Amino acid sequence: MASIKDVAAEAGVSVATVSRVLNDHPSVSADARTRVLAAVEVLGYRRNAVARSLRTDQTHTLGLVISDVMNPYFTELARSVEEEARTLGYSVIIGNADERPDLQDHHVRNLLDRRIDGLLVSPTDGGSPLMLDAARGGTPMVFVDRWIPGVEVPVVRADGLEAVRDLVAHLHGLGHRRLAIIAGPAATTTGQERVAAFRAALHAYGLGLPDVYIGQGDFQAGSGRRVTEGFLDLPEPPEVVFATDNLMALGALDAIRARGLRVPGDIALAAFDDIPWFVHTDPPITAIAQPTGELGRASVRALVDRIEGRSPESVTLPARLVVRRSCGETAEPPASPEPPPAQSPAVRPPVRRSQS
């Protein structure tokens, strides 16, 4: 592969001059410029980004470590991150932790070794030593969706408190009184928060959240299945299962279906995270929708701010309840026919900002 030297030779100039035209440096004669450009063309020269990075000490690359790519929520997050990064002139390398702390560390290590300019992470756990080091050490970092308390890193996330309250109001209005939850890992902030929000909302209706109605999941389908089976085996099974992510809701649906039971007739189901498929499941699933695309974009903006020396802000966006039919029929007229869900441009909700 042709190097800058070859181009210089071909154009009859020094490598410095070639470098200057490649970098749009102003002080280059028109003549030199055209000769260099011609040489580049002839040789099919492509600048070596590795060498350039070594010299300039920047890779124009962002690392994104997410907990599970197969989760449609994170897939969409990753997509919007890449999109925004691209418009700002960065590439992104995605590391999929698969909800495994060891894999998460593997990716953080790998990304750090590659000298990415900044790291976006949705932590799988409370923070390994490596992660903590990275956060305190120089690497610009921003948390998306989940975060690690006590670390001085901006956080971009959705607040589901109100939406969960709306959900519980909806369920209570439908006459449900025994509500159960499939929780995410306690080591994750979203795992804890969603249970806390649910408990608080129930409390407002004078309802409790007994331990047997809290199932420990891991944000993956299999755990949703297992937990739901446990619920169904209870002497007094819950009337509603609230899965705190979409994959566990899928698992719950599997378990319910395997027992030959019907949603919502035999048991109601709601989920955190809305995805296009929820419109078409049997029945369509009531879910709490996050402004996913906007979260991705905001987190990139915050990270690039940090990288380029501006001071980034934490951002909190509201989630909202989307009522469908999986919790029972409401007296109200069914919501007007849902607009085509897939690929619809993200609605941008009002943004609440808070200093990190």
Which residues here bind its own copies, judged by CB under 8 A?
A: 1, 44, 46-51, 53-54, 59, 69-70, 72, 75-76, 78-79, 82, 86, 91, 93-94, 96, 106, 109-110, 112-115, 133, 137-138, 220-222, 225, 247, 250-251, 253-254, 257-258, 276-277, 279-284, 337, 340-343
Task: Quickly tell me which residue has 């905001």 as its tokens.
Answer: 298
Residue type, 278: F
Q: How far is CA 246 from CA 162, 240, 253, in A?
A: 19, 16, 10
Q: How many binding residues for DNA (CB under 7 A)?
A: 29
Considering the complex, what minimum distance in angstroms separates the CB of residue 133 from DNA?
16
Contacted entry of its own copies, DNA, none for residue 337, CB cut-off 5 to 8 Å set by kind: its own copies
* 23 lies in the binding site for DNA (CB under 7 A): yes
- 7 near 39, Cβ under 8 Å? yes
Residue 220, token pair as written in the block? 């993956």
Which of positions 57-86 make contact with DNA (CB under 7 A)?
A: 57
Q: Specify the residue, 56 or 355, whose C-beta has the smaller distance to its own copies.
A: 56
Q: Chain-centre distance of CA 212, in angstroms?
A: 30
Q: What secondary structure letter does DSSP report for 163?
A: H
Q: Specify the residue, 205 or 277, whose C-beta has the smaller distance to its own copies.
A: 277
Considering the complex, what minimum distance in angstroms separates the CB of residue 139 from DNA?
15
* 51 lies in the binding site for DNA (CB under 7 A): yes
Contacts of 246 (CB under 8 A, 6+ apart): 71, 72, 73, 271, 272, 273, 274, 275, 278, 287
Residue 341, token pair as written in the block? 């869900």
Q: Specify the residue, 47 or 170, whose C-beta has the smaller distance to DNA.
A: 47
Binding region for DNA (CB under 7 A) out of 44-52, 136-144, 316-324, 345-353: 44-52
Sign of CA dihedral 270, 175, 341, 281: positive
- Picking from 122, 170, 116, the residue whose alpha carbon sits closest to that of residue 325 is 170
* 37 lies in the binding site for DNA (CB under 7 A): no
- Judged by the rule CB under 7 A, the positions of this chain that interact with DNA are 1, 3-5, 13-20, 22-23, 26-29, 31-32, 45, 47-48, 51-52, 54-57
